[in-house]
């Protein structure tokens, strides 16, 4: 490295910098990171939909048929989220982001 140029010692920086000193972007890592972010947001929206569905069922504002369709749709959604999580090689905990002082996302 050039004199005066700080070396990158962090784990994240080591993955981005090659021996030649040039940045080395790992396309698969970026793809997986983007998949993790998108899947985390989808999981959050799914949980919000589940909570809203429970409120509507408890309030009695849905017919039996609507409740059944809603339950099936939420189950299929949960199965698809699980399938995608496994496809990306993510653990359940990987979708639960730490928001610092706000706590965990999910």
User: What tens digit of pLDDT does each residue of 71-101 get?
Assistant: 999 999 999 999 999 998 999 888 887 777 8
Question: Where are the alpha helices (H) located in the chain, listed in sequence order?
Answer: 11-16, 27-59, 64-87
CB atoms within 10 A of CB 62: 15
pLDDT of 5: 44
Locate the domains of the chain by residue range.
38-102
Q: Provide the mean pLDDT of the chain.
A: 79
Query: For 20-71, how does the pLDDT look when each residue is reduced to its tens digit (9 = 90+)?
Result: 455 444 666 666 788 888 999 999 999 999 999 999 999 999 999 999 999 9
């Amino acid at each position: 490295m050039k004199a005066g140029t700080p070396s990158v010692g962090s784990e994240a920086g080591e993955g981005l910098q090659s021996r030649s000193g040039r940045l080395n972007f790992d396309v698969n890592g970026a793809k997986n990171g983007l998949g993790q972010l998108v899947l985390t947001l989808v999981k959050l929206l799914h949980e919000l939909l589940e909570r809203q569905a429970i409120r509507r069922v408890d309030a009695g504002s849905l017919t039996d048929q609507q409740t059944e369709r809603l339950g099936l749709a939420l189950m299929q959604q949960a199965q698809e989220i699980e399938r995608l999580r496994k496809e990306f090689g993510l653990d359940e905990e990987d979708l639960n982001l730490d928001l610092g002082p706000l706590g965990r996302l999910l």
